[in-house]
Amino acid sequence: MKQPAFLLILLLMGLSLYAADPAPDRASIIVAVGASGEEAYAAPFSEWAANWQKAGSAAGARLVALNPGLHNARDQLRKALEEEAKETSAVLWVVLLGHGSFDGREGKFNLPGDDLAASDLAAWLKPFQRPVVVICAFSASGAFLKPLAAPGRIVVTATRNGAENNYARLGGYLSETIADPAADLDKDGQTSLLEAWLAAAQRTADFYKNAERLATEHSLLDDNGDGFGTPPEWFQGVRVVKKPSNKQAPDGLRAHQIHLLPSASEKALPPALRTERDQLERELAQLRETKTTLPADEYYAKLEAILLRLAGLYRESQNGNPAPRP
């Protein structure tokens, strides 16, 4: 590709986004606080929930907070999910805060009354054809990763398996970083779920290091649907620097496109164009992973095609006129 072509594409992509009347795109946040067990845990769990509700309110999200005192909390969660729209571009956040357990066969989230099994939550989420984020911020939550993993879904667990069953602190830090501008690693004016998770995982690691204690929780993030998850140590900035052994796209690409508090330009982008933009960005990231395996001409030809489509999309957003599709 000639140098002027690259410059033109970058200039087009740098144009500000504008939409006179963006379509409604309201996220939903369901926050469930589990059984505290000991009284000492009730206060922090409530504080974490309050942080999520504050962030959700600032984002204009639809908030559903389940009362931790309800003995039918499991049924209340099921009902809340049943009432949510199944097909929309708006993100559904399911935030589970508390304790968990694992009996060697299945993970459970401890609730007043009947506990929530990973298989139950997986079945309740199956009808959803919208972006879904599940925050499993509880001990032994690693056992929820494989059952919940699915295309188009992002799952964060506080632990890497069900055996890490001590009190997990990640949920508290993530409730703080999810709307924290200081966690914005790429300085684009918004904090993505990936950035918030990386910041929270770092704070968790720092806690154990500073307290000179053996870390009893190791968080994972899965957004490619393979159910394996990726630890924060595999990231440098917002990019994965250690490749998984399978041929799946690396985790983190989708999570970096999810923002509870999007920037003004992000909110101005109509949902349909945002969906297309996100897909092109993932194609671009995946293409970069193959750079060393492709002939230079082929790589740059594919790169130019994606960048031109992105440039046309941004120009379409600014002008309000459909851009020609290749």
pLDDT of residue 260: 96
By residue count, the chain amounts to 326
Radius of gyration of the chain (CA): 20
CA distance 119 to 107: 8
pLDDT of residue 62: 95
Q: What amino acid occupies position 229?
A: G
Asked if 68 and 45 count as a contact pair (C-beta separation under 8 A), the reply is yes
Element (H, E) at 212: none
- Cβ-based neighbours of 29, under 8 Å, separated by 6 or more: 52, 53, 56, 61, 62, 63, 64, 93, 95, 260
- DSSP assignment of 88-112, as one string? -SSPEEEEEEE-EEE-SS-EEE--S
Please write the tens of the pLDDT for every residue from 59-104: 999 999 886 666 788 999 999 999 999 999 899 999 999 999 999 9
Tell me the backbone φ, ψ of residue 107, rounded to 5 degrees. -85, 150
The residue among 66, 261, 111 whose CA lies nearest residue 180 is 261
pLDDT of residue 16: 31
The residue among 259, 273, 258 whose CA lies nearest residue 314 is 273
Element (H, E) at 136: strand 132-138
Question: What is the side-by-side order of every strand in the sheet holding 116-117?
Answer: 100-102, 107-109, 116-117
Asked if 319 and 25 count as a contact pair (C-beta separation under 8 A), the reply is no
Three-state DSSP class for residue 128: coil
Please write the tens of the pLDDT for every residue from 193-203: 999 999 999 99
pLDDT of residue 320: 62
Asked if 101 and 108 count as a contact pair (C-beta separation under 8 A), the reply is yes
Query: Looking up tokens 């929930």, which residue turns up?
Result: 49
Element (H, E) at 288: helix 271-289
- DSSP assignment of 3-47, as one string? HHHHHHHHHHHTSPP--SSPPP---EEEEEE---SSHHHHHHHHH
- Cβ-based neighbours of 177, under 8 Å, separated by 6 or more: 183, 191, 195, 196, 197, 199, 200, 203
CA distance 68 to 87: 29
What parts of the chain have a pLDDT lower than 50?
A: 1-23, 322-326
CA distance 230 to 244: 8
pLDDT of residue 13: 35
